[in-house]
Amino acid sequence: MTSAYNHSFLGMVFLSLSIIHSESTSNVYIVYLGLNNIQDPILTSNYHLQLLSSVFPSQEHARKSMVYSYKHSFSGFSARINATQAATLAGMERVISVFRSKILKLHTTRSWDFMGLNLDPIGDQATPLQLTHGDNAIVGLFDTGIWPESKSFHEAPNMHPIPKTWRGKCVNGENFDPKKSCNLKLIGARYYLKGYELEHGLLNTSGNSEYQSPRDANGHGTHTASTAVGSTVKKASFLGFGEGTARGGAPRARLAIYKVCWEDGRCSEADILAAFDEAIYDGVDVISASFGSPPPLVPLYNSSSDIGSFHAMQKGISVIFSAGNNGPDSSLVQNVAPWSTCVGASSIDRNFPTRILLDNSLSFMGESLNTKHIEAYLVGARIFFRGGICRTSRWRNNNAFGAVILCFSTPGSVLIEEAEVAVWGANGTGLIFVDSPTRQYVDVDIIPTIRVDMIQGTKMGHYLSQSMMYPPKVHIFPSKTIIKQSPAPVVADFSSRGPSSISPDILKPDISAPGITILAAWPPGIPPTSTSIDQRSVEWNFQSGTSMSCPHVSGIVALIKSLHPNWSPAAIRSALMTTAYNRDMNHDTILSGGTNEESNPFDIGAGHINPLKAIDPGLVYDLTSDDYILFLCNNGYTEDEIKRIISLVPGKNVNCPKEMTSNTNLNYPSITISSLESSVMIKRTVRNVGGRKTSVYFARIVSPHGVEVTVWPMILFFSYFRDEVSYYVTFKPQKVSQGRYDYGEIVWSDGFHTVRSPLVVCVNINTATPDITIDDSFQTLDRESLSPSFSGA
């Protein structure tokens, strides 16, 4: 055994500790066995049942305990067992890992125009790119289901037949008839409930609060599906706001729904893994999943998302995850496996200014989605809430009818949602909420709510204090929709930041995309605020979160996959990352919401997504089985376990290093060194995918502060006979430092393409820099083979 840890052993230790607490309590556990080498679903299921029977008195007991048999795309099962049985299974030689299924949570249009995918002809093209490609791409969406009647999911004109490779289906269910619901656009719809009900209790379907079917009773799934691949719909708006043509990133792409999330956005890992198993088998090209579990992150072999996405990647399927909504604190990013794409959230260039007038003399400007002219009195929070803290628990039980209440986020760290509920409960006419501008973004509210920054709110508070006799009259005017009037993008304050807490030498998030106040389809039977006190019915709704940025990227990936069907998931992610930009529309560094400072790669990854450039990136960084083997070795997998989970070409061996090495050596589009103690050399390999087979790329380097970065060779030559070239990067610390990250970049350009890789380095030394150490592999390099003359290229 060459790895540092044996997962089965660790599993037994961990599960044995659980036995101390409860030997008899049963929970849903997932038993992961790796690749499915049997290839026959029936035989695989029988094998799973046989394995499970070894910890039960009879096969019948085991059959009743079985939740899912993962039998199509990989091998494993989930079952309701106790900790003793789980520990016994974990100790078996054929088992890679056993872990308890957890409940994950959801991470909850002008955005496409903002990113350059507009409906005007591009260059000399007769029709826009979005409307001519995508028929052959299938996006699998893991979410809360779908409202199939939405115009977003109607067939686009002249759609081709469903791809012959598709093996999925639409299943019957409550208020969901496949014959009426599915078409050439929505080609698949499944739901997974067994794990959720065993872990959470029986589903509450009273009053259409949920449906035992692919139908969406939450709104989240409909919104994300519409964002990713929604058909083109004209004059879409939320109560007149944001009016325009709505469409997904790939409006002609096909959609397959896998409903794994239920009441309040809860998703069972057992159900998620079942969805991965069937989605891979069905033949999706992209999987979009806007959920996760906040840190502390579990090992990759104990995560259904990481296991499922790993096997999807091996089948050429790109898996796109949301980064999470735990920002702006560092190291809380989720979904950090190197074989999936992790997406942060940022703003677009659309605002909803709302004018506030006090006593017909003092004017302020806030933001809201206010539809009417409000005339009332402006009253301080202390009149209605003890200590001026706008929470229901602080209400003085006096009626606030006719009053617009001025509430501050401080003192008490009051959330805007808390203040809204409190003012609504007090029967207030409206709310002016004061908070830091870096944490403000417009959302759909249960009462008229205007957001203002701390400076304007303070002025209002001073004016109120001077109006001792009578409260001032306030006029709040209807909000407007404006574009291109404020810097964008800005990283969302809630977007989870890096570095990764489990693999800090791989940059996460990978990329950022629009995730603030995104307009997309919505079920008309669900209130736009998803609260019982909201009686409005809308077909389009605004939502914010990395849940919204994730499907933006999924749609773009579907478009790229349609244009480049042979590109691997790693190559597609590379195209997204190396073409991303880190300057806003004013050509300044993109700001980081929540801090109002310049963003860095831990906020925004490689940058903000640029779809048109990602379609033609010039060069790509691909990953091979050797890269994944190295990563798995570094994460404690044994050589035998790796052979059982990764598809290897015949004759290929797995050899883990005798000592754990850095994940920096993965051929990732970014380079991250979490602890630079001495000079290191790192290899990267790029492949030319541009239209010019014979091309020359020149390097430009921006070194992180305190680090000398050298690249060799500085010129890369590509030809018809040589489309792949390697280069080497040496990092030499030049300063004494303890734990500070600095940032730079390597940019390759041929005059037509710009291929940018972020550099993220933390120097961690106390003494002068030692001499450069050179890899043994470098000493045997043939310089002529790496750097041919121009004439020979």
Type of residue numbered 790: F
Neighbours of 782 (CB within 10 A): 7
Residues 6+ apart with CB under 8 A from 431: 390, 404, 405, 407, 419, 420, 423, 445, 447, 448, 449, 450
Q: Is 7 a catalytic residue?
A: no
Residues 326-340 as b or e (16 or more Cβ within 10 Å = b): bbbeebbbbbbbbbb
Angle between helices 304-314 and 269-282 (to 10 degrees): 10
H-only helix segments in 564-700: 569-578, 601-604, 611-615, 625-634, 639-645
Task: At 4, list the tokens.
Answer: 């540092």
Residues 6+ apart with CB under 8 A from 783: none
Q: What radius of gyration do the chain's Cα atoms show?
A: 27
Question: For residue 34, is it left (φ>0), alpha (ψ between -120 and 50) or beta?
Answer: left
Rounded-to-10 torsion of CA 84, 87, 93, 98:
120
Type of residue numbered 95: V
CB-neighbour burial class of residue 786 (10 A; exposed 0-12, middle 13-18, buried 19+): middle
Please confirm whether the linkage preceding 41 is cis (ω < 30° from 0). no
175, 181 contact by CB (below 8 A): no
List 293, 547, 703, 757, catalytic entry: 547
208, 214 contact by CB (below 8 A): no
436, 419 contact by CB (below 8 A): no
Neighbours of 360 (CB within 10 A): 9
In the chain, the N- to C-terminal Cα span, in Å, equals 45
656, 639 contact by CB (below 8 A): yes
Residues 6+ apart with CB under 8 A from 403: 376, 377, 378, 379, 383, 384, 428, 429, 471
Residues 6+ apart with CB under 8 A from 709: 701, 703, 729, 730, 731, 732, 744, 746, 759
List 48, 220, 223, 753, catalytic entry: 220
List 75, 97, 111, 143, catalytic entry: 143
Q: Is 277 a catalytic residue?
A: no
Report the alpha-carbon distance of residue 655 to residue 422 in Å, rounded: 61
Q: Map residue 87 onto helix, strand or coil.
A: helix
Supply the DSSP string of 219-278, one letter for each residue. SHHHHHHHHHHPPPEEEEEETTEEEEEE--SSTTSEEEEEE-B-GGGEEEHHHHHHHHHH
519, 312 contact by CB (below 8 A): no
Report the alpha-carbon distance of residue 359 to residue 486 in Å, rounded: 28
Report the alpha-carbon distance of residue 185 to residue 201 in Å, rounded: 34
Q: Map residue 176 onto helix, strand or coil.
A: strand
Residues 6+ apart with CB under 8 A from 751: none
Tell me how far apart the 2 most distant CA atoms of the chain are, in Å.
89
Question: For residue 580, is it left (φ>0), alpha (ψ between -120 and 50) or beta?
Answer: beta
Q: Is 737 a catalytic residue?
A: no
∠ CA(94), CA(99), CA(105), 5° rounding?
A: 140
Residues 6+ apart with CB under 8 A from 763: 676, 706, 707, 733, 735, 737, 740, 742
| Catalytic residue annotation | 143, 220, 547
